[in-house]
A = this chain, B = another copy of it.
Amino acid sequence: MEQALLIPTVAEKVFARDLVDGQQVETAFIVREVSRRSKRNGEAFLKLQLGDVTGRVEAVCWDDVDAVADAAAPGAVLIVRGAYSDDERYGATLTVRGARLAGDGEYDPQDLHECAPVPFAQMEADLRELIGTVQCPHLRELLDRLMAPDSTVWRRWSIWPAAKHYHHAYRHGLLEHSLSVAQGVSAMAATFPGLDRDVAVTGALLHDIGKIEAYEMEGDSIDLSGSGKLQGEIPLGYFAVRREIEAIAGFPADTAEALLHIILSHHGSLEHGSPVAPCTREATLVHAIDNLGGKLGSFDRLEKSLGDGERWSRFDRALDGSAYFARRDAA
């Protein structure tokens, strides 16, 4: 992290995961939650939740409350100065002595929030290159319409998260996930015989398109939308793609059905929310690589939460178990 000369230099990021009782800190945190409260004597104080990519820490600020309150909007990045204690009675708290908005050069965004490990521009370029390999003109037109830089779909799809918790639950996560699944599908189509690569790759790119309606994103906050809960991400995506297909003259019915079947069946089974189970090679393939990509994404997320020397993650609901990282140096 290159720093300007004079001014506020934060020697090094101190991570929430690594705080120990009694530690003095001056480091960057993102504000997750903030509320103004009153002590019994009537004086105001702030209760905050601060976070970085490794976790969260409860904080309280008794001093300079107004100034800190001005800076501490949810989502803002602060340089926080204070002391951490893991108190017998009150639990773990960071007592904030001062805080100010961080300048752009003062922190590395990847220290603060989970994000795609590849820059957006690179992902978009990889995506457009992959789309360029689709030979079927109708599938190509469908992708070109949905992924056109000025399309409504693209504007959401390209920045949306892929989930609320489990994997790729951050800005551009949907793009990152869809792209890697499609790349994996493309590679498998070269390994196993009998696959219609164009259908499979298009299905892989569009399989999660319903998430742009099923999720809402405000700042770093991701949640299911009302439509997501009442209609489900799969019907929403199915409707969007089928309506777009119907707007393309001459789109072959067979190809349409093959693609829609992938979107409808990509959760792999009824009990996971697909109204039909995969019954084509292409749908079987997209489901397998989507599932694999999601699990590997959970490994990525869990690895970041490990402390020094730890090899086992905590129990994780997405994996239904703990993850083990055998060779962390190599990871």
* Chain A interface residues toward B at CB < 8 A: 21-22, 37-38, 40, 45, 47, 60, 85-90, 117, 180, 183-184, 187-188, 190-194, 196, 199, 226-227, 229-232, 234-235, 238-239, 242-243, 254, 257-258, 260-261, 264, 270-277, 279-281, 284-285, 288-289, 291-293, 295-296, 299-300, 303, 311-312, 319-327, 330-331
With A194-B300, A232-B275 as known contacts, state yes or no: A326 contacts B37, CB within 8 Å: no
Contact between chains at B261 and A231 (CB < 8 Å): yes
Copies in the complex: 6
6 closest A-B pairs (Cβ-Cβ)?
Answer: A187-B187, A232-B275, A271-B271, A288-B292, A232-B276, A230-B261
How far is A188 from B191 in the complex, measured between Cα atoms in Å?
11
How far is A320 from B277 in the complex, measured between Cα atoms in Å?
9
Which residue of A87, A229, A331 has the most chain B CB atoms within 10 A of its CB atom? A229
Contact between chains at B238 and A260 (CB < 8 Å): no
How far is A234 from B196 in the complex, measured between Cα atoms in Å?
27
Chain B residues with CB under 8 Å of A117's CB are: 193
With A270-B270, A292-B284 as known contacts, state yes or no: A319 contacts B191, CB within 8 Å: no
Chain B residues with CB under 8 Å of A291's CB are: 288
How far is A277 from B312 in the complex, measured between Cα atoms in Å?
14
